[in-house]
A and B are shown apart, each in its own frame.
Chain A
């Protein structure tokens, strides 16, 4: 079975720009969660998608948005980038109803905002 893959691995943007990060879920998984991990911190929950709809959201502004596609791949979009958005963005897939919330993580996309 294939694991969770994320792209791009690294990218640099300037303040005010927009960015799209992509995630391919582990095969057989129907739920994807996105996390922001600032340097030296734990992952912070952004939102979760299940059946192509947002299933829950953390304390992030609306300029953070997402999509989940029928093949369970996902995108995280961030508009009007701010310097504090610089972080590692982690995608995690899981299967609702199995594995009791265990998350399978990709290696992340490291975003630097200048």
Chain B
């Protein structure tokens, strides 16, 4: 069975500072990894995904994430955040060829002026 742990429930950060949102996963088989963002009163939107190949993946809005197989981690980073990045961020995992995607509990990123 797969599981996802997001290590921080809330991350406050000042505008233009760098940020890292941490995610660890557990699975006995190979997986795809995702980060989704949810703005207030909206559904989830894909930020980026890791399927295979290069362990550093770049997504929308300047976000990137690095897949670390040995540490079973997929941390999300942005070098300089904006007020508009304030949202809930979800790490997710699905088995390759599987039918369901499992989500973490989410990390609320709060960007302060």
User: A76-114 vs B: 1/0 string, CB under 8 Å?
Assistant: 000000000000001010000000111111111000000
**A55–B49 CA distance with the chains assembled, in angstroms:** 23
Render B78-108 as a binary contact track against A, CB cut-off 8 A, 1 for contact.
0000000000001000101011111111100
Q: Is the pair A56, B105 in contact by a Cβ cutoff of 8 Å? A: no
Interface size class of B (residues with CB under 8 A): 20 to 34
**Smallest beta-carbon distance B8→chain A, Å:** 13
Complex-state Cα separation, A101 to B99, whole angstroms: 8
Cβ contact within 8 Å between B49 and A102: yes
In angstroms, Cα B99 to Cα A50, docked, is 10
Q: Smallest Cβ distance from A11 to chain B, in angstroms?
A: 15
- In chain B, residues 36-74, which have Cβ atoms closer than 8 Å to a Cβ of chain A? 36, 41-46, 49, 51
Cβ–Cβ contact A107 & B32, under 8 A: no
Distance (whole angstroms) from the CB of B78 to the closest CB of chain A: 20
Query: How many residues of chain A have a CB within 8 Å of chain B?
Result: 25
A21 to chain B, nearest CB (A): 13
The secondary-structure label for the interface of chain B is strand
A48-B99 in contact (CB<8A): yes
B34 within 8 A of A: yes
* A42-B106, A45-B102, A55-B99 known; A102 vs B46 contact (CB < 8 Å): yes
B49:A106 contact, CB within 8 angstroms? no
- Cα A58 to Cα B94 in complex, Å, equals 13
- Shortest Cβ distance from A3 into B: residue: B43
Smallest Cβ-Cβ distance to A110: which chain B residue: B41
Shortest B31–chain A CB gap in Å is 10
Which residues on B sit within 8 Å (CB–CB) of A58?
A: 100
Query: Known: A100-B51, A103-B101. Is A42-B32 also a contact (CB below 8 A)?
Result: no
User: Contact flags (1/0) for A32-49 with B, using CB distance below 8 Å?
Assistant: 010100001111110010
4 additional contacts (CB under 8 A) given A103-B44, A106-B43 = A42-B103, A92-B44, A101-B32, A103-B101
Residues of chain B touching chain A, judged by Cβ–Cβ distance below 8 Å, are 4, 6, 32, 34, 36, 41-46, 49, 51, 90, 94, 96, 98-106
Nearest 4 Cβ contacts at the A-B interface: A105-B43, A42-B103, A56-B99, A101-B94
